Amino acid sequence: MTTRRGLFLFFFVLALGLVWWRLFYTDKRTPTLPVEVPLAWLDENTLLTGERDTLFIRKDGEDRQTLLSLDEEEFSFGGFCISDANFWFATSRVARSYGGGISSTLSRKLQIPVVGWENGVPQLGYPIEQEWLDEPALPDCTVDLRANETTAFLRSSPTYQENRTIDIDGHLVKLYHATGNYARLFSGTLFLDQSPAGLIHLTGEQATRHVFPESYTSQLEIGRRLGWGELLWDAELSQALFVHNTCGPGQSGSDCRRKALWLTASLEPISDFEMPGDSLIEIKNGYTCFSCGCGCYSHEELYVMGGEVFLHIWGYPVENHARGVYRLKQSSTGPAWEKIISGRPQSPIAISPNGQQIAYFELSRLGDQFRIVRID
């Protein structure tokens, strides 16, 4: 009897352990569809979100209300632009052949005019289809064709087509695309400038150099990586933040450094500050980084809002305790990352204008959910 009871207790504890392991250590790799994506805070109490073919408004933390739905077409939330007068979204439509089979996927870009506002909620007009080459520009989402002029110039430039260089003031300068949300939406085309260190804004054939101050560039390590910095936009301050970054997953010490520089909207320098010199990504034992590197499935992304800097860490190979959202904290002992959200918030996250609310979709074996968290 004792043996049977002992065996029963052993298998019961083993079953509990397996359930615990499956729920709290192993991870879902994909969400249970559909996924509601946080898009933009229209003000401190009004959040725009999207899910497949529908845009929603979440007002004062209440349940979502439908703002706009498409017919047999879905939004692509990877790139969009929101302003007081226009919304821009890429969309996709699946074309089906006779018999129900999928023959192709058609894509287009929609300009959705804002015809008015009521209690902070936009009233949207009829969507207008635009050419793919028309790119909206910050901050008002109006079409700026100068980016097309730049593209045409680079395609016709023999030196650029041969080795990615162009002539600037009689010198061949190699162009490296700048990254970050402000770089992607900047009118024209923005590149990193290595010597002198700074940014190159290329409009057609006209190159404008924005040189970083010596107090900032003297401490940079340029050349370690092709993309040695990224440019972020703070919509609340109407300023840009350039972050020099030599960090890779799991790096720390001299191999990992971040130094930030505030810029005006026209890329003039304001002030710089230090960021923590370590990577928060920790890969679980038993996971490999695959041929494309750890960045395939483990990620860190910087955000800036209201003068505060946030870092989002996510990906299923990342250690459970490392995942989440962090806020940069300056103290007498130096800069540090303060964890403000744990769990598995998925990308993208949306930070309210005063930095006190963060919206995200959370992946969990206990149930995926859309969350809005208020930060003290």
Distance in Å from the first CA to the final CA of the chain: 57
Average pLDDT over residues 296-308: 89
Q: Looking at the predicted structure, is the pLDDT value of residue 102 above 60?
A: no
Give strand pairing partners of 330: 335
Greatest extent of the chain over all pairs of C-alpha atoms, in Å:
93
Q: Looking at the predicted structure, is the pLDDT value of residue 9 above 90?
A: no
Instruction: Decide if 82 contacts 141 (C-beta within 8 A).
Output: yes
Q: Looking at the predicted structure, is the pLDDT value of residue 185 above 70?
A: no
Report the sign of the C-alpha dihedral through residues 154, 157, 162, 167, in that order.
negative
E strand or H helix that includes residue 336: strand 334-341
pLDDT category at 18 given cuts 50, 70, 90 is: low
Q: Residue 310 burial (CB < 10 Å; 0-12/13-18/19+)?
A: buried
Could you read off the pLDDT of 130-177 as tens digits, one per residue? 887 677 766 678 777 777 888 899 999 999 999 999 999 999 999 988
- pLDDT computed for residue 97 by the predictor: 57
pLDDT category at 290 given cuts 50, 70, 90 is: low
The better pLDDT of the pair 77, 257 is held by: 77
3-state secondary structure of 216: helix
Could you read off the pLDDT of 305-342 as tens digits, one per residue? 999 999 999 988 888 899 999 999 988 888 999 999 99
Write down how long the chain is.
Answer: 376
- pLDDT computed for residue 342 by the predictor: 93
Angle CA(176)–CA(181)–CA(185) in degrees, nearest 5? 80
Give 346's contacts (C-beta < 8 A, 6+ positions apart): 31, 35, 314, 360, 361, 362, 363
Give 131's contacts (C-beta < 8 A, 6+ positions apart): 109
E strand or H helix that includes residue 294: none
